[in-house]
Structure 1
Amino acid sequence: MTQSFSSALLDNFLGNAPDWYKKTIVLFLIINPIIYFAAGDAGPTIAGWALILEFIFTLAMALKCYPLQPGGLLAIEALFIGLTSPSTVYHEIQANLEVILLLVFMVAGIYFMKNLLLFVFTKILLGVRSKVVLSLMFSAVAAVLSAFLDALTVTAVVISVGVGFYGIYHKVASGKKFHHDHDHSDDDQVDELNREDLENFRSFLRSLLMHAAVGTALGGVCTLVGEPQNLLIAGRANWEFFEFFIRMAPITLPVFVAGLITCAVLEKIKILGYGQELPEKVRGVMEDFAEAEDEKRTKKDIASLWVQGFTAVWLVIALGLHIAPVGLIGLSVIVLCTSFTGVIDEHSIGKAFEEALPFTALLTVFFAIVAVIADNGLFTPIITEVLKMEGTTQIAMFYLANGFLSMVSDNVFVATVYINEVAKAALDGTISRDTFDMLAVAINTGTNIPSVATPNGQAAFLFLLTSALAPLIRLSYGRMVIMAFPYTIVMSLVGLAMVYITLEPATEKMYEKGWIKHHNLETLCDSVGGSWENDKCKLDEKKKAGGH
C-alpha cells in the first residue's frame, strides 16, 4: 500500500512518539497564535501562561518524547508570534552561561572518573546492608556536597554511579559475562527468571536517586555557593559567606533535619515507591563483579584509579575555594583525567559529551520560555499583591509565592525577578533595609525548598529526569512528582513555619549577638549598579529592571 505524504510526514514528526502525543503538540502550535492575536490586550498574558503549561506537559511526557524537540518547536513559535525576542533569549542565556558551561564540561569530566566512582560506591553499596542507613548516607552526602560544590555536579556523580550499577546487573541478567559488550537499554535479552529482580532493582535505584536529588536541595539552600540564585541574592544584599549561612539557618537547619527524618520514615513505612531493598540476587552479582574487577585489575588500572582520585581531590578543592567558574574547573578535570589515563583520541573523548549536550540544548530552550515570562511580566501581578502586605504575613507570602512560581518556572529566574523588585521597593522607601534582608531570606528559601515539587523547579531534578538513566529505571515526570510529594509537603511546611514564627525574632537575636550587622541603603544601591547621590539612589531604567 502506498503511504500518503501527510501520513509519512506524521510518521516522521517526533519519531516514535505516540500519535496522540504528536497531535497534541500540533494542537498547541495551532492554538497559541490564535490566543495571542484573538484575545486582544490579554493575548500575550494568556498565551504566555498557555505556553508555560504546554512546556511543562512536554517535560511530564519526557519518556514518550525527549522534550527538546516539542519544547523547541513551542519556543520557536513564541519567537515568531512575538511572545519574546531573540535578544531577551540571548540575555537569559548570557545570565546562565556558567550553568551551560557546567553542563558541557563538568558532566563530561565526571564521565572520566566513572571507574573510581563505581569502585567507591560499589564498596559502600555492598558494605551497608540497611536500606535506611544507605538512603540517609546518599541524602546527607548529597546535601553536604551541594552546600559547598554544586547540585548539578553532585547529580552527575549520582547518575554516573546509577548507570554503572544498572549496567552491571542488566548485563548478567541478560546471560552475559562482565567483559561482554551489552546494550543495557534493551530488555529483550533479559532472562524471564531475572525480570522480577530487575524491576525490584529499578525500584531500589529510583528511591536512592530521589533521596540524593532531594539532598542536593537540602544542602543547596544553606550556603552562598549552593545554588546560582543564592549567589545573586547574597550579592544584592551584600552578605558574605558566614552572614548568608547564619541568616538562612533559622529556616534551613530545621528543614535539613526534617528532610532527613522524612527520608528515614519513607524507607521504614515503604510508601510512594520507597522501601525496596537491594535484591539478594543483585547483591550477589555486584559482589561477583567487585571480586572480578579486583582480580583483573592491572598496575595500569590502579595507576588510572590513583589519577582519578587525585583529580577528585583537585575537583573538591577547586570547587570549595571557587577559584574559577564551575564549567572551567570541569574542563580542567577532563584535561587531567584524559592526559594521565591514556584517553587521547577525539572519538573516545567525544563519548563523554553525549550525556550532557542534549540536556544543555533543552536548558537553552527552557531559557526561551523564561524569556517569555520576563517580556510579558507574567509574575508581576503576584509580586505587586505580595508587596502590598505587611509584617510577618508579607514575609511568609514571599516564601509561598516564590515557592509556587519556582515549581512551574526556573527558580533562578524567579529569585532574580523578586530580589530586583524588592530592592527597588527598599530604595523607593516602600520597605526598610532590615525588612529587605528578611524578604531576601524568604526569597532564597522559597525558591530552593518548595521547588522540589516538580522536575522543572530544580535544575538537578530536570537533569536527572532527562538523563540516560531515567528511562532505564522507569523514572518518569509523574513518578518524580509522586516520590517528591512527601518531601515537598514536609519541607515546605517546616520552612513556612520557620519563616512565619522564628525568622523575625531569630534575626533580632542575631543582631544583638553581633553575628550579623545592619546594612544601609547605600550598599544596596551599589549592589544594583547605582550611585548614591543626595541620599537617593540614581538608577537607569535598564538596571532598575534587572536587565529585562
Structure 2
Amino acid sequence: MASLFANPAGRNFLGNSAEWYKLTILAFLIINPILFFAVDTYVAGWALVLEFIFTLAMALKCYPLQPGGLLALEAVAIGMTSPDTVWHELEMGLQVIMLLVFMVAGIYFMKSMLLFVFTKILVKVRNKVLLSLLFSFMAAFLSAFLDALTVTAVVIAISVGFYSIYHKVASGKDFHHDHDHMHDGELDKLSEDDLEGFRAFLRSLMMHAAVGTALGGVMTLVGEPQNLMIGDRANWEFVEFFWRMLPVTLPVLIAGLITCAMLEVTGILGYGAKIPPKVLNILQDYDVYQSERRTSRDKAALVVQGIVAVWLIVGLLFHMAEVGLIGLSVIVLATAFTGVTEEHQIGHAFEEALPFTSLLVVFFAVVGVISDNGLFTPVTEFVLGLDGHGQITALYVANGVLSAISDNVFVATVYVSETAKALADGIITRDAFDLMAVAINTGTNIPSVATPNGQAAFLFLLTSALAPLIRLSYMTMVKMALPYTIVMSIVGYLGVAYLLEPMTDKLYESHFIEHHHEKVGEPKDAGEH
C-alpha cells in the first residue's frame, strides 16, 4: 500500500500528511458506501460522524477541511443527505457565518490598539500572579465582546513579537536589524537559560489567556461561534443571552480566575515561571524604542480604533443590528479613518477566518446527515425521557464530554438542532428549551478546554507559529489545562444542577418581556417547568 503514495498523484493527496493518515481517510471513503447500501443507513451515518470527529482530533496531521470535506461530499453523493438539507442548515447558521467572516476581519483592523494595551500590561506589571490574572481577565473581557479566536490571535501576535525581540538581542543584534527568530544558531550561549525561562513564562501566560477566552466566550452571544447559533434558535438578543447564562457562567468565571491565581502561587504543572530580569530589561527598552518612533498618525489611528471598539460594544449591547453587520461596520470605520484603502490591505483581514468558516459549512453538511438519518434520536429520546433537572444536567454532561474529544461548535450545532426540533414537535415546552439551550451552551464551552481540539481558539494556538517557539505541544496543553478543566467543569455542573432554573426565572422576570420568545416555538408561558 505504501507504493500507492509513491507517484505524484498519491503524494499530492492530502499533501504532507502521514501515509497512515492518508490510508485511513481512503479507507473511510471506501467503507462508507458499503455500509450505507449493504448494511444499514443508521450504522453508516454514525460511522461518518465518528470519522468526522477523527479528522477534528487529528487536526495537527491535516486541517480538517480537506478530509472532512471529502467525507461530506461523499455523504451527499451517495444520498446520506441532500444538497437541500445542507442549504437549509446553512440558512439556519447564516448569522454564525456572518460573524466569522466580518467580525473577525473587523477586529484585524483593531489589532494595533489591542497590541498596545497588552504590551503595556506585560512590561508594566511585575507581579506574575497579578499579570496572569490580568491576561486571563482581559482575554475573557475581549472574548465576550469580540471573538475568542481573534483574541487568541492577538495574544499570539504579542508573544511572537516579544519572543523575536529578545531572541534578536540575545543573538547580538539591535532592534532595527533583520533577524530570523526561528533558528537558535546565532544565540549567545549565556542567554540560553534566560530563553528557556522566557519560554516557560510565555507558555503559562498563553495558557491563562487561552482559558480566559473560554471564560469570557461562554458568557455572550458573540463569544463563540455556537453561541450565536444557540441564541438565534432561542431568539435571544445580546443582553438576554448574557443574563440567561449568568447563573452558570459567573461562578465559572470566578472559579477560573481563582484557579489561575492558585496555579501561579503553587507553580504546579508548568505554571509559576517568572520572566528573567535580562529579558524584562530588553522588553522595556524595546517599549521605549517603539514609543519614541510612534508618529502622530499612529497615535491618531490608536484613538480611532479605541472609538470603534466602544461602538462595537455599544452596538452589540443594544442589538443595533445583526452581529455580522456590526462587524462589517467595524471594517468600514476602522479602515476609512486609519488610511487603509487598498484592496490587498483589506484582503489580509479575511485570511484568518475563512478556513474555519469553510470548515463550519462542512459541519452543517454532517449535521444534515445526522438530521436525515435520525442519528441522535435515541439519545434525544433518552434525555427527554428524564425528569426535571435530569434532562438539563444530562445535556450538560453529554455536550461536555463530546466537546472535549471533538469540537464544541460541531457538538452544539447537533444538539441545539435536536432540541429545537423537539420544541417544534411539541415534545418539550418553551421553558424546558430555554434551560436546555443554556446547558448546551455551557456544556460545549466549559469542559471543552480539556483538549486543543475542543475549542477553535486552543487549536489555533497549538497550530500557530508561536507553539514550537515556546515548546507548547499537544500533551503540554492538555496537562496545563487539566486543573482548569476539573474546576470549571465541576463548578459548571453545580451551576446547571442547582442554580440554573430558579436564578434564570428571576433574572428573566427582572429584565425581559414575553415577546422575545415567539420565534422558536410556543410562547414562553405555554408550559410549566
Q: TM-score, structure 2 length as denominator?
A: 0.83
Partner of 1:527, secondary structure, is coil
Partner of 2:269, secondary structure, is coil
Partner of 1:129, secondary structure, is coil
Change (3 A) 1:363 1:417: closer
Partner of 2:270, secondary structure, is coil
- Where does 1:298-317 land on structure 2 (aligned, <5 Å)? 298-317=295-314
Give the aligned residue type for 2:44. Answer: P
Give the aligned residue type for 1:286. Answer: L
- Where does 1:518-533 land on structure 2 (aligned, <5 Å)? 526-528=518-520
Q: Deviations over 1:184-223 (max 9, x none)?
A: 4455555555455444434333332322232232223334
Partner of 1:515, secondary structure, is helix
Q: Deviations over 1:241-266 (max 9, x none)?
A: 66554443332222221111111122
Partner Cα distance (1:37, 1:75) in 2? 17
Q: Does 1:133 align with 2:130?
A: yes
Residue in structure 2 matching 1:458, options 455, 459, 479: 455
1:44 match: 44
CA contact under 8 A between 2:175 and 2:286: conserved in structure 1? yes
How much does 1:161 deviate?
2.6
CA contact under 8 A between 1:359 and 1:463: conserved in structure 2? no
1:282 match: 279
CA contact under 8 A between 1:36 and 1:47: conserved in structure 2? no
Partner Cα distance (1:321, 1:199) in 2? 47
1:208 match: 205
- Where does 1:155-234 land on structure 2 (aligned, <5 Å)? 155-186=152-183, 190-191=187-188, 193-231=190-228, 233=230
2:250 match: 253
More divergent stretch after superposition (266-275 vs 475-484): 475-484
Partner Cα distance (2:153, 2:217) in 1? 15
Give the aligned residue type for 1:400. Answer: V
Q: Deviations over 1:25-80 (max 9, x none)?
A: 44444444444445334432342233133212332xx1x44444344444444444
Partner Cα distance (1:123, 1:190) in 2? 27
How much does 1:13 deviate?
3.8
Change (3 A) 1:250 1:29: same
Partner Cα distance (1:392, 1:279) in 2? 50
Partner Cα distance (1:92, 1:335) in 2? 29
Partner of 2:268, secondary structure, is coil
Change (3 A) 1:7 1:401: same
Partner of 1:278, secondary structure, is coil
Partner Cα distance (1:262, 1:212) in 2? 13
Partner Cα distance (1:180, 1:202) in 2? 22
Structure 1, unpaired ranges of 5+: 537-548
More divergent stretch after superposition (69-78 vs 277-286): 69-78
Q: Deviations over 1:319-346 (max 9, x none)?
A: 4444334444444444444444444333
2:264 match: 267
Partner Cα distance (2:185, 2:365) in 1? 39
Q: Does 1:443 align with 2:440?
A: yes
1:543 match: none
How much does 1:124 deviate?
0.8
- Where does 1:229-244 land on structure 2 (aligned, <5 Å)? 229-231=226-228, 233=230, 244=241
Residue in structure 2 matching 1:487, options 484, 489, 495: 484
Change (3 A) 1:101 1:409: same
How much does 1:104 deviate?
3.6
Query: Percent same amino acid among aligned pairs?
Result: 64
Change (3 A) 1:352 1:425: closer
Give the aligned residue type for 2:519. Answer: S
Give the aligned residue type for 1:56. Answer: L
Residue in structure 2 matching 1:398, options 392, 395, 401: 395
Partner Cα distance (1:531, 1:433) in 2? 7
How much does 1:112 deviate?
3.5
2:139 match: 142
Partner Cα distance (2:440, 2:509) in 1? 23
Partner Cα distance (2:468, 2:503) in 1? 45
Q: Does 1:296 align with 2:293?
A: yes
Q: Deviations over 1:108-165 (max 9, x none)?
A: 4434433333332221101111222111112222223333444344334333333333
Once superposed, what is the RMSD of the aligned Cα atoms?
Answer: 3.8
- Where does 1:2-151 land on structure 2 (aligned, <5 Å)? 6-59=6-59, 62=60, 64-151=61-148
Partner Cα distance (1:188, 1:38) in 2? 59
Change (3 A) 1:78 1:134: farther
Change (3 A) 1:273 1:20: farther
Change (3 A) 1:280 1:27: farther
Give the aligned residue type for 1:486. Answer: P
How much does 1:167 deviate?
3.5
Q: Does 1:380 align with 2:369?
A: no
Give the aligned residue type for 1:308. Answer: Q
Partner Cα distance (1:240, 1:15) in 2? 43
Structure 2, unpaired ranges of 5+: none
Residue in structure 2 matching 1:515, options 510, 513, 517: 510
CA contact under 8 A between 2:45 and 2:369: conserved in structure 1? no
Partner of 2:378, secondary structure, is helix
Partner Cα distance (2:349, 2:377) in 1? 41
Partner Cα distance (2:324, 2:41) in 1? 42
CA contact under 8 A between 1:36 and 1:46: conserved in structure 2? no
CA contact under 8 A between 2:57 and 2:453: conserved in structure 1? no
Change (3 A) 1:153 1:57: closer
Partner of 1:177, secondary structure, is coil
Change (3 A) 1:109 1:281: farther
How much does 1:12 deviate?
3.8
Change (3 A) 1:348 1:392: closer
Change (3 A) 1:50 1:239: closer
How much does 1:487 deviate?
1.6
More divergent stretch after superposition (408-417 vs 315-324): 408-417
